[in-house]
Amino acid sequence: MTDRNESLRGRFQKGMDKKAHQFVASIPFDKRLYRQDISGSIANTRMLAKQGIISQENAERIISGLNSIRDEIARGKIEFTTEFEDIHMAIESRLFEKIGEVAGHLHTARSRNDQIALDMRLFVKEAIDLTVGKIKQFQQVLLDIAEANKEVIMPGYTHLQQAQPVLLAHHLLAYFEMLQRDVERLQDCLKRTDVLPLGSGALAGVTYLVDRDFVAKQLGFSAVSKNSIDAVSDRDFIIEYEATAAMLAMHLSRLAEEIILWSSAEFGFLEIDDAYATSSSIMPQKKNPDIPELVRGKTGRVYGNLISMLTVMKGLPLAYNRDMQEDKERLFDTVDTIGSCLDVFIGLIKTVTVNSDRMLNAVNSYTLATDLADYLTRKELPFREAHNILSKMVKYAVSRGKSLHELSLKEYQKFSPLFDDDVRDISVETSVASRNVVGGTAPKQVIIALARARRIISR
């Protein structure tokens, strides 16, 4: 196979040291960009022919060769080795083998600097679409389980202490909102990713009369870059994807933590399906929540990729520097990690068993303390005073090993004469129903929220 890297060593008297060559080679990982690289090359070739920079005949031979190479790679017929420095040179070398010296026109009016910037932007655009699609699938599963359990009441927590009763559906819809913000951030990231860098050359632009708008249209970009130096040295779009992915991973990790807690014997709120749990090698009774634990653990990995990229870019002078080669493995790993976490969570949540009785029975009467304070406030007692009365009542009940339900009306009236027989009407169910405000946990509001969420993911 012809070594096209030789053309890049014209001023050097000897070849690169073998270990040094292996050190700088990116082909072991950037081979993943072959589809994007070939698509960019085809679009650029069409433009060169349209502009009369190369002949239509040569353009057709190049495009035919590139399509053939894409098919060969897809079928595993090409072995990538570090003989080639990167995916660009590997494809170009194979093109020389297939069509001869005509392949030399392929690199007209571009540099590997704007070429790799193009490949990465195409990849991130696809990654955004893929990630958004998986998030929407996960949102759908969350809505399905929320809908199926929309009457289930559970303890709501702050500081992991029981606070007020809420609907399980309302709790799950909180994650829907988090995920929707992730979708919106990714869609916003797409705006800044959707910019064509090709035509920027190495850093100063190109001397040919190219039609960048034509190439942009061919490749589905909505805009072209406005500064050639920035275009080849910008990796903000990768960092932005990484940052959004890190927040998405954080949201998944929070849910993972709750699944781990809720599936424990102490909570018993749900059971993970056997297909998404593991057994112990020594304790036969164990059903370990390894899937959510790994999702929680992989969040640190996604964070690390973001910090790595920020650190790589923080001290680079303009324009392109080889340090930027480090962007690919970090990005690929994040895309793969986030994708696998979403995939496995979709299956886990879809098959989880909710223990509604255990959730309801776990709600202790002290979570109604705020409702009782509100009861007094509606009788024109200042809320701060009502809060103080209920604090004393709770302390009294706890000291006697009683729930608030078990206190007699006479005991209630020791703390305030405003308490009357109707105080017995306050229950877990009335507490939930009374939060009938937009965004509240009342059943009416949750039904509205579920319908709104369905509309959002159907867009």
Q: Give catalytic status of residue 280 as yes or no.
A: yes
CA pseudo-torsion sign 308, 24, 225, 42: negative
Let me know if residue 252 belongs to a domain.
Answer: yes
Query: CA 352, CA 359: separation in Å to the nearest integer?
Result: 14
Let me know if residue 378 belongs to a domain.
Answer: yes
Question: Residues 7, 264, 279, 280: which is the catalytic one?
Answer: 280
pLDDT of 150 over the 70 cut: yes
Q: Cβ contacts of residue 239 below 8 Å, gap of 6+?
A: 306, 309, 310, 313
Question: In which element (H, E) is residue 164 found?
Answer: strand 161-167
Task: Determine the structural domain holding residue 12 and report its residue range.
Answer: 4-108
**156 pairs with which residues across the strands?**
164
Asked whether residue 210 falls in the same domain as residue 333, the answer is yes
Q: What is the pLDDT of residues 36-54, one digit of tens each?
A: 999 999 999 999 999 999 9
**What average pLDDT does the segment 167-191 reach?**
98
Query: CA 114, CA 116: separation in Å to the nearest integer?
Result: 6
Let me know if residue 157 belongs to a domain.
Answer: no
CATH at residue 403: 1.10.40.30
Q: Which residue in 244, 231, 252 sits closest to 305, CA to CA?
A: 244
pLDDT of 301 over the 70 cut: yes
Domain end call among 361, 378, 399:
361
Asked whether residue 131 falls in the same domain as residue 117, the answer is yes
Domain end call among 361, 378, 403:
361
pLDDT for 10 = 65
Amino acid found at 101: E
CATH at residue 90: 1.10.275.10
**What average pLDDT does the segment 281-299 reach?**
92
Find the angle CA(273)-CA(168)-CA(164) to the nearest 5 degrees.
135
pLDDT of 426 over the 70 cut: yes
pLDDT for 84 = 83
**What average pLDDT does the segment 320-327 reach?**
93
Let me know if residue 153 belongs to a domain.
Answer: no
Whether 40 and 118 have beta carbons less than 8 Å apart is answered as: yes
Asked whether residue 278 falls in the same domain as residue 390, the answer is no
pLDDT for 96 = 96
Domain end call among 361, 377, 399:
361
pLDDT for 2 = 42
Q: What is the pLDDT of residues 92-133, one digit of tens each?
A: 999 999 999 999 999 999 999 999 999 999 999 999 999 999
Query: CA 398, CA 173: separation in Å to the nearest integer?
Result: 33
Let me know if residue 156 belongs to a domain.
Answer: no
Asked whether residue 336 falls in the same domain as residue 217, the answer is yes
Secondary structure class of 206 (helix, strand, coil): coil
Asked whether residue 340 falls in the same domain as residue 378, the answer is no
Q: What is the pLDDT of residues 13-28, one digit of tens each?
A: 777 788 887 788 788 8
pTM over 0.85: yes
Let me know if residue 155 belongs to a domain.
Answer: no
Asked whether residue 330 falls in the same domain as residue 378, the answer is no
pLDDT for 24 = 81
Asked whether residue 127 falls in the same domain as residue 273, the answer is yes
Let me know if residue 237 belongs to a domain.
Answer: yes
pLDDT of 348 over the 60 cut: yes
Query: CA 146, CA 171: separation in Å to the nearest integer?
Result: 9
pLDDT of 247 over the 70 cut: yes
pLDDT for 26 = 84
Count other Cβ atoms within 10 Å, centred on residue 396: 15
Query: CA 458, CA 451: separation in Å to the nearest integer?
Result: 11
Asked whether residue 271 falls in the same domain as residue 356, the answer is yes
**Across all residues in the chain, what is the average pLDDT?**
94
Q: Cβ contacts of residue 25 below 8 Å, gap of 6+?
A: 82, 84, 85, 86
35 vs 86, 113, 118, 339, CA distance in Å? Answer: 14, 17, 12, 20
Q: What one-character DSSP code corresponds to residue 288?
A: B
Whether 270 and 354 have beta carbons less than 8 Å apart is answered as: yes
At 74, list the tokens.
């897809």
| Percent share of the chain, pLDDT over 70 | 97
pLDDT for 20 = 85
Query: CA 444, CA 449: separation in Å to the nearest integer?
Result: 9
Amino acid found at 129: D
Q: How many domains, the chain?
A: 3
pLDDT for 1 = 38
Asked whether residue 330 falls in the same domain as residue 181, the answer is yes
pLDDT for 5 = 53
pLDDT for 374 = 96
Whether 233 and 202 have beta carbons less than 8 Å apart is answered as: no
At 370, list the tokens.
């705020």
Amino acid found at 227: N
Asked whether residue 305 falls in the same domain as residue 450, the answer is no
104 vs 38, 43, 107, CA distance in Å? Answer: 15, 16, 7
Query: CA 367, CA 280: separation in Å to the nearest integer?
Result: 37
Q: How many residues does the chain have?
A: 459
CATH at residue 339: 1.20.200.10
Determine the straight-line distance between the first and last CA of the chain, rounded to whole angstroms.
50
pLDDT of 6 over the 60 cut: no
Q: Which residue in 99, 97, 92 sits closest to 115, CA to CA?
A: 92
Asked whether residue 214 falls in the same domain as residue 122, the answer is yes
pLDDT of 35 over the 50 cut: yes
Q: Cβ contacts of residue 40 below 8 Å, gap of 6+?
A: 115, 118, 119, 122, 198, 219
Asked whether residue 252 falls in the same domain as residue 133, the answer is yes
pLDDT of 178 over the 80 cut: yes
Q: Give catalytic status of residue 159 as yes or no.
A: yes
| Percent share of the chain, pLDDT over 90 | 89
Let me know if residue 285 belongs to a domain.
Answer: yes
**What average pLDDT does the segment 156-184 reach?**
97
Q: What is the pLDDT of residues 370-414, one digit of tens each?
A: 999 999 999 999 999 999 999 999 999 999 999 999 999 999 999
At 447, list the tokens.
């039904």
